[in-house]
């Protein structure tokens, strides 16, 4: 009997994960809000660029009735979690694959999560995804898990491995990987989204680079202050990244090393700027809450900037970074 799974959210991650599970023989249903994306998927299938399309059922979120016995992969933005959770009768087999921290979701008693370090971008009107930067999916428990729960997470990991689109690591505790991803996401997302640039530009533009490196170091300091364990995502452990950033001359070398792999990739927040809600509270807002009285001026400035842009419906532009620097008051804050 095929394992039944519902993937909620036909964005870059949701499409790739649903495609992978369907290719591995799972019984996959994709749940999506946008009617044009649903119609496209029903007509042409689920597409990962460079791979054969797969046909699977699409269900509109308004009509979705989640089965109590299905695995549910949550691949939406965190600001949609409240509406999503209102539909569920149980979170027993819920596996979120979100990089942000949402207090409502975090209070639920599901066993495992996935953290994607690869970058996948999806067309707005069609379920057509392209992996623009390779990476891994770390999947594992977020609390002490039963043997049955560990077995389900292992089955998911094995199915993703079979598809071969990205590296998969089954880990005993996913929380250090999620914390490490936050260190990077809360540095990249507000800056690249506000400026309207690709991720590589953060290592080219002088002010963007200074803000980016400043946020990385500040995020690292806050996470360590909060006593959170950090794991290696990508080529370097966060401890190594922090040492590099504190060593004169090495940050410039690091930016040269990373720039080519980031060119043409965009953060998930980019598509939200000027259109409504963003995940700023799930990224930098969470860092600020973790910090408490510990200093985090750059994160606080990032939250103020994105909140103002969102409230006023402004489009992305490079000058937003100048506004953020002016809000910080002095370059000493970026040292």
* pLDDT at residue number 330: 52
- pLDDT tens, 9-26? 999 999 999 999 999 999
CATH architecture group of domain 4-173? 3-Layer(aba) Sandwich (3.40)
Who's near 220: CB < 8 A, 6+ residues apart?
183, 230, 238, 241, 242
* The model's pTM: 0.94
Distance separating alpha carbons of residues 275 and 295, to the nearest angstrom: 31
Pick the CATH number of 177-334 from 1.10.1040.10, 1.20.80.10, 3.40.50.720, 3.40.50.80: 1.10.1040.10
* pLDDT at residue number 274: 79
Which of the 8 DSSP states describes residue 262?
H
Low-confidence ranges of the chain (pLDDT < 70): 1, 330-335
* pLDDT at residue number 331: 43
* pLDDT at residue number 207: 95
* pLDDT at residue number 334: 52
* pLDDT at residue number 251: 81
* pLDDT at residue number 95: 98
Return the bridge partners of 28, or none.
5
Q: How many helices (H) and strands (E) does the chain have?
A: 12, 11
Q: Break the chain into its structural domains and give their ranges.
A: 4-173, 177-334
Domain 4-173 and domain 177-334, same fold? Reply is: no
- Quick one: three-class SS letters along the chain? CCCEEEEECCCHHHHHHHHHHHHCCCEEEEEECCHHHHHHHHHHCEEECCCCCECCCEEEHHHCCCCCCCEEEECCCHHHHHHHHHHCCCCCCEEECCCCCCHHHHCCCCCEEEEECCEEEECCCCCEEEEEECCEEEEEECCCCCHHHHHHHHHHHHHHHHHCCCEEEEECCCHHHHHHHHHHHHHHHHHHHHHCCCHHHHHCCHHHHHHHHHHHHHHHHHHHHCCCCCCCCCCCCHHHHHHHHCCCCHHHHHHHHHHHHHCCCCCHHHHHCCCCCCCCCCCHHHHHHHHCCCCCHHHHHHHHHHHHHHHHCCCCCCHHHHHHHHHHCCHHHHC
């Amino acid at each position: 009997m095929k394992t039944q799974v519902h993937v909620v959210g036909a964005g870059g991650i949701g499409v790739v994960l649903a495609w992978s599970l369907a290719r591995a023989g799972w019984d996959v249903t994709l749940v999506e809000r946008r009617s044009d994306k649903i119609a496209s998927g029903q007509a042409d299938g689920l597409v990962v660029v460079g791979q054969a399309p797969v046909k699977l059922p699409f269900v509109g979120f308004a009509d979705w009735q989640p089965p109590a016995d299905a695995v549910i992969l949550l691949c939406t933005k965190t600001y949609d979690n409240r509406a999503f959770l209102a539909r569920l009768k149980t979170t027993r087999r819920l596996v979120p694959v979100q990089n942000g921290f949402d207090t409502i979701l975090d209070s639920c008693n599901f066993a495992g999560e996935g953290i994607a370090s690869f970058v996948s971008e999806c067309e707005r009107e069609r379920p057509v995804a392209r992996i623009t930067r390779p990476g891994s999916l770390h999947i594992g428990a977020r609390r002490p898990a039963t043997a049955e729960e560990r077995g389900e997470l292992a089955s998911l990991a094995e199915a993703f491995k079979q598809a071969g689109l990205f590296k998969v690591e089954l880990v005993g505790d996913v929380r250090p990987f999620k914390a490490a991803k936050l260190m990077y996401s809360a540095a990249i997302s507000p800056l690249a989204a506000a400026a309207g640039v690709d991720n590589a530009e953060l290592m080219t533009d002088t002010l963007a680079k200074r803000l980016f490196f400043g946020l990385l170091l500040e995020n690292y300091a806050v996470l360590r202050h909060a006593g959170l364990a950090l794991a290696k995502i990508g080529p370097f452990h966060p401890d190594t990244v922090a040492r590099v950033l504190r060593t004169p001359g090495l940050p410039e070398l690091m930016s040269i090393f990373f720039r080519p792999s980031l060119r043409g990739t965009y953060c998930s927040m980019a598509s939200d700027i000027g259109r409504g809600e963003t995940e700023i509270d799930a990224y930098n807002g969470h860092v600020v809450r973790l910090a408490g009285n510990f200093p985090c001026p750059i994160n606080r400035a990032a939250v103020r900037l994105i909140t103002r842009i969102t409230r006023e419906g402004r489009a992305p532009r490079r000058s937003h970074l100048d506004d953020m620097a002016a809000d910080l008051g002095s370059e000493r804050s970026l040292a």
